[in-house]
Structure 1
Amino acid sequence: MGLKAVLSKLYAKLVNKQLNNIRKNAVELQHKTFLKLIDQAKNTAFGQAHHFEQINNYDDFKKHIPVRDYEELRPYIERVTNGEENVLWPGKPLYLTKTSGTTSGVKYIPISKESMPGHIDSARNALLSYVYETGNADFLDGKLIFLQGSPVLSKKSGLDTGRLSGIVAHHIPTYLQKNRMPSYNVNCIEDWEQKVDAIVDETINEDMRLISGIPPWCQMYFDRLTAKSGGKKIKDIFPNFKLFVYGGVNYEPYRARIEESIGFAIDSIETYPASEGFIAFQDSQKDKGLLLQVNSGIFYEFIPVDEFFNDSPTRISLKDIELNKNYALILNTNAGLWGYSLGDTVKFISKDPYKILVTGRIKHFISAFGEHVIGEEVEHSLMSIAKEEGIDVVEFTVAPQVNPAPGELPYHEWFIEFGNEPNDLEAFRQKVDKALQKKNIYYFDLIEGNILQPLVIRSLKKDTFINYMRSQGKLGGQNKVPRLANDRKIVDGLSSYIK
């Protein structure tokens, strides 16, 4: 065992002690975070406009701060991106992260000098929690790869601007820099396919021990490694590869294929980073829950999903959450986001400590007939049957068909790229539909009431989603195909790929 591995075990003990204190005092720490945020931002333009000086408790806060999404907060953010100081947070941000907007192009999310450590420390603590629990630290003595966006930053009104993963690349701890791959020059390649090929060439003969990234793009890396090596499994290319770190999407639909590519069921750590803040990470291999980061400068609020679009939805803090209930996640951060609807939905599976699962996107649902089917339900229905049947699902997306052929009832249309297609697609379709009916009572009622017909599956050609994302200029990086949509913009683009 090398020096880094030995030292990491000692450091992991210290970090675990700190995390235990945070686990035991989550509600108190959230209250302290709340008070600190209000105090720090009371003299900003936003703080003055929203009467922060009158806010003494959470009830006061809710009276003065409405829930807003990015578009509603945009007037303030544009003042920040134009170089104005003391708008949402004291001074100017350290960075602007650039993400894809849902309605009006590029979004810019501020990162302050106070919020930057939350991104770095949470990622570090995820690894150290694994080291502490398992005793496995050898991965730190080999090469580590983070499949990410380009670290090249541009300037906007004098502010460094780039993708979150590219910004974070500038803050990788010094002790990991020599282990880290790919090289800076390769990491700066903008074209994703050229970049993956260059990464393959650069890493195929290295001692890779930790691989991190969004699952579908890691799968592309694995596929090209296998092709380059003449068909070898990843375990034979990288015999010391022991840890897979991922985030950005639900891993379960990808797990079987990735583990098949690797050659064994590898240890994995799920993380929940966002441009707006590092929300949670998996702190134990014994359960899938993600430890909510309650002491990193974010005050969380939660709105029950079924109330989110109401005029006056219930809005609660951590102390009032219920287990196994889906909530829309609202953030207030030390980078100046206030009442900010992240767009994600989560549910708590534990209060001791507070652990969550990410269940979908508030705008990624199907409710063309009031069924309000969410991502968690769709993914469970498909993947449970696929696992039962030994079927490999590469990728999929679902949308409603509200204008069926004459004489037909409307239906949910599932566009699926299979690794190996079911021998009896009709039987598979019926089983998935029954599974979804069990997960969603409203969907069940619509099927039983002959309002909807059972779902329809469109089997897609090999590499459909890669080709589709390429055609949209969104191949690689942090881009993801939404699993659900209440319109047909995506599936209409996939119609030419149907087998």
Structure 2
Amino acid sequence: MSSFRAVVLIFLSATSAAVAILVQTEALPRPPAVAAAVVSLCSLMGVSLLLRDIRSKVRGEGRTLGSLLGQYAALKAVGWLGKWQRAKLEADTLNVRKAQEETLLSRLRKNEHTLYGKRFDFASIKDSDTFRSHHPITTYEHYRDLVGRVASGEERVLTAEKPLVLAMTSGTSGPSAMLLSTKDTNSDFFLQGVAVCLDTMRRAFPATDSLQRTTKFFYTPTFRQSEAGIPIGPNSSTPASSRHMLHLYTTPPPAFQVASEKDALYLHLLFALKDPSVGTLESNFASTVYYAFSTLQERWQELTEDVECGTVSGTLHLEPHVRAELEALTRPDPERAAQLRADFGAGFRGIAGRLWPRLNLILAVDSGSNQIYGEMLRDNCCSGIPFYSPFYAATEGLIGVNLWPEETSRRYLLCPRSMFCEFLPESLLEDEAAATAATLLMEDVKVGQNYELVVTNAAGLFRYRIGDVVKVVGFHHQCPIVEFQYRRSQMLNVRGEKLSEALFLDALKEAVVQWPPARLLDYCCAESGIMGNCVGSCDPHYQVFLELSGVRNLSEEQRHKLDVCLQRASAVYRSFRIKGSIGPPRVQLVGRGAFAELRQRMMSSSLTSANTFKMQRVLRRKEDARFLLARTVS
């Protein structure tokens, strides 16, 4: 077979795969064979241009032509899709009321014949004002029994379509809730979120438009089955579920079958280290990237030996067929191992840029509870590498996208066709009657004001309080731009002072600066009421658990500085401290690794996976607080 004919056949296959991706997300119509044929015939006219384009792009070493062509076709397909979706988003921001109204009414029409739709007479609702006057604001308790009926197999209860997954929330707002995840919510997330953010990423970081592979830190979640056989677990699908995308990653397909997070992480790191031309490190959250570099620091010698010898560590508990498949993909590389030893020998500050000299980006959410992990990565292991925090999303679905990746503040444009959004003014949140009567729409909110989000999504939640408080920081045309502030359930409140996570973290960082050479690694708090008699004094106070590097002990004077910083940050807290209504915070220094243990403990007691886990900054379970108290070293 001639080389030209081989290229043509490979590209036809790659183009068909790319089209399959678009059809799978409903970006192209079915049947896929027809769409693929049209695109492929057009592509044949430019094979020479294609090859020239591929040669001009930075690409990984040791790649097959088929792998490069497959990735090229996927990038072109998703690139086209991203431009198209970005144009649609821009058009919607010019008339956000129209986009929101159409989104709401399409949800009501689709579900008007469900049990829930009939109960609230969706068929009679013709506009958002009528909807808001006829339907109450809801919390999870409003849906609990209905979700149970869905889990038992009853159809058309909340949604016209059967859910793909019964998704468990991360539990940062208390006990995990079980929500519906549908084809529509997945499609909205990919089309309005992933595609738009990839387009934004390539505009801001042109070097990412390459044929370099990505290291994706992803862990296969554990699912159980409902009575009706619907999967119950975290709302995250494995990359292995889309075989068309696997050539984009350094981790080979068999590794995505490994259930153990510890063993899967080792494999992610091993195959990433084998490829010096990695272009992007990706994960859902910055915390996952942080834990990856922590593991790299602990196991770099073992990993380097595997690279040198072309082996897969015998300490990993792998199924025999998985180990055999992985070992078939490895080969001894003493030259790369020597370079790795030199890189590690220079220390871990800036290690990411030395291990992967062509690394362009860290792609992970680093706002909210992940803020400190992003800061630590930028200050140490990933120094000098740009970060992009692409989404504002929850188990309920996509909320916003970050169109300004190069800015240090994490701002998100609300997506007017993903959810119908209402806003409860922060000043009214404690007055339930006033709050439920005073929701605002997108065009009504004011810059500089805080609001709790109330959403109607594509998966059976109507006027649902998700518990997030956001600040409106601007508008893009008519559409609000927000910054996440805090979750209502994660506020410290022992006397009605209500300190948010953001306020507490700012005060804590201010205090840590005054404790040289200490560096904050992790933290959380507990209100004294859940601690019982295990902490002595009965006056209301905060129990603060810190994991620090650089110090082994804290003096009483240092601990007092946190109290001073909290008083400076909150006038209400200061007034309670002056009156003696709140005692000083009890600051406990825990041993290294205590928070990693807590993380594993929390995940093992729920269906939350490493992909969706968020550290609770205010502990609500006595068992978790006592777990950390038992690991106090100072």
Fold agreement, TM-score > 0.5: yes
| Cα distance change on mapping 1:438 and 1:351 into 2, 3 Å | farther
Q: Is the contact between residue 150 and residue 157 of structure 2 (CA under 8 Å) also seen in structure 1?
A: yes
CA distance in structure 2 between the aligned counterparts of 1:185 and 1:243, rounded to whole angstroms: 25
Give unpaired runs (5+ residues) of structure 1. none
Report whether the alignment pairs 1:239 with 2:360: no
SS in 1 for 2:423: strand
Q: Which has the larger share of strand?
A: 1
State the one-letter code of the partner of 2:522: E
Report whether the alignment pairs 1:337 with 2:461: yes
2:617 aligns with 483
Report whether the alignment pairs 1:496 with 2:626: no
1:203 aligns with 272
CA distance in structure 1 between the aligned counterparts of 2:237 and 2:92, rounded to whole angstroms: 29
Corresponding residue to 2:295 among 219, 224, 240: 224
CA distance in structure 2 between the aligned counterparts of 1:11 and 1:36, rounded to whole angstroms: 23
Corresponding residue to 2:194 among 119, 123, 141: 123
1:321 aligns with 445
2:522 aligns with 395
CA distance in structure 1 between the aligned counterparts of 2:403 and 2:295, rounded to whole angstroms: 31
Q: What is the CA distance between 1:74 and its match in structure 2?
A: 1.3
SS in 2 for 1:378: helix
Report whether the alignment pairs 1:354 with 2:480: yes
Q: What is the CA distance between 1:160 and its match in structure 2?
A: 4.7
1:250 aligns with 369
Q: What is the CA distance between 1:169 and its match in structure 2?
A: 5.9
| Cα distance change on mapping 1:427 and 1:205 into 2, 3 Å | farther
CA distance in structure 2 between the aligned counterparts of 1:98 and 1:193, rounded to whole angstroms: 22
Q: How does 1:242-281 map to 2 (within 5 A)?
A: 242-247=360-365, 249-270=368-389, 271-281=391-401
Q: Is the contact between residue 119 and residue 168 of structure 1 (CA under 8 Å) also seen in structure 2?
A: no
CA distance in structure 1 between the aligned counterparts of 2:269 and 2:239, rounded to whole angstroms: 22
Q: How does 1:455-470 map to 2 (within 5 A)?
A: 455-470=585-600
| Cα distance change on mapping 1:394 and 1:146 into 2, 3 Å | same
TM-score normalised per structure 2: 0.71
Corresponding residue to 1:150 among 205, 220, 223: 220
Report whether the alignment pairs 1:432 with 2:562: yes
Q: How does 1:148-227 map to 2 (within 5 A)?
A: 148-150=218-220, 155-156=225-226, 157-166=228-237, 170=241, 174=244, 176-206=245-275, 207-213=277-283, 214-227=285-298
CA distance in structure 1 between the aligned counterparts of 2:240 and 2:416, rounded to whole angstroms: 23
SS in 1 for 2:459: coil
CA distance in structure 1 between the aligned counterparts of 2:566 and 2:100, rounded to whole angstroms: 37
State the one-letter code of the partner of 2:386: D
CA distance in structure 2 between the aligned counterparts of 1:135 and 1:477, rounded to whole angstroms: 27
CA distance in structure 2 between the aligned counterparts of 1:103 and 1:299, rounded to whole angstroms: 22
SS in 2 for 1:383: helix
Q: Is the contact between residue 304 and residue 328 of structure 1 (CA under 8 Å) also seen in structure 2?
A: yes
Report whether the alignment pairs 1:453 with 2:583: yes
TM-score normalised per structure 1: 0.88
Cα offsets for 1:388-423 (capped at 9, x unmatched): 766421111012225787777432221010122398
Give unpaired runs (5+ residues) of structure 2. 1-55, 58-71, 302-343
Q: Is the contact between residue 398 and residue 483 of structure 1 (CA under 8 Å) also seen in structure 2?
A: yes
2:10 aligns with none
Report whether the alignment pairs 1:113 with 2:239: no
Cα offsets for 1:3-41 (capped at 9, x unmatched): 579847776655543333233333331122122222222
CA distance in structure 2 between the aligned counterparts of 1:361 and 1:14, rounded to whole angstroms: 34
Q: Is the contact between residue 397 and residue 484 of structure 1 (CA under 8 Å) also seen in structure 2?
A: yes
Deviates more, 1:74-83 or 1:227-236: 227-236
Question: Which structure has the bigger radius of gyration?
Answer: 2
Q: What is the CA distance between 1:468 and its match in structure 2?
A: 2.1
Cα offsets for 1:368-389 (capped at 9, x unmatched): 2000111111122223444576
SS in 2 for 1:354: strand
Q: Is the contact between residue 217 and residue 476 of structure 1 (CA under 8 Å) also seen in structure 2?
A: yes
Cα offsets for 1:287-309 (capped at 9, x unmatched): 52433342333111222345335
Deviates more, 1:383-392 or 1:475-484: 383-392
2:42 aligns with none
CA distance in structure 1 between the aligned counterparts of 2:443 and 2:431, rounded to whole angstroms: 22
2:116 aligns with 46
Q: Is the contact between residue 163 and residue 182 of structure 2 (CA under 8 Å) also seen in structure 1?
A: yes
| Cα distance change on mapping 1:343 and 1:89 into 2, 3 Å | same
| Cα distance change on mapping 1:375 and 1:106 into 2, 3 Å | closer
Q: How does 1:75-114 map to 2 (within 5 A)?
A: 75-99=145-169, 107-114=177-184
Q: Is the contact between residue 151 and residue 187 of structure 1 (CA under 8 Å) also seen in structure 2?
A: no
CA distance in structure 2 between the aligned counterparts of 1:170 and 1:265, rounded to whole angstroms: 34
State the one-letter code of the partner of 1:137: T
| Cα distance change on mapping 1:447 and 1:154 into 2, 3 Å | closer
| Cα distance change on mapping 1:210 and 1:356 into 2, 3 Å | same
State the one-letter code of the partner of 2:373: Y
Report whether the alignment pairs 1:311 with 2:380: no
Corresponding residue to 1:137 among 204, 208, 213: 208
| Cα distance change on mapping 1:330 and 1:243 into 2, 3 Å | same
SS in 1 for 2:149: helix
CA distance in structure 1 between the aligned counterparts of 2:550 and 2:73, rounded to whole angstroms: 42
CA distance in structure 2 between the aligned counterparts of 1:98 and 1:181, rounded to whole angstroms: 29
Q: Is the contact between residue 492 and residue 500 of structure 2 (CA under 8 Å) also seen in structure 1?
A: yes
State the one-letter code of the partner of 1:346: V
2:329 aligns with none
Deviates more, 1:70-79 or 1:467-476: 467-476
CA distance in structure 1 between the aligned counterparts of 2:152 and 2:296, rounded to whole angstroms: 44
SS in 2 for 1:118: helix
SS in 1 for 2:143: helix
SS in 2 for 1:136: helix
Deviates more, 1:97-106 or 1:43-52: 97-106
Please provide the CA RMSD for this pair.
3.1
Q: What is the CA distance between 1:150 and its match in structure 2?
A: 1.1
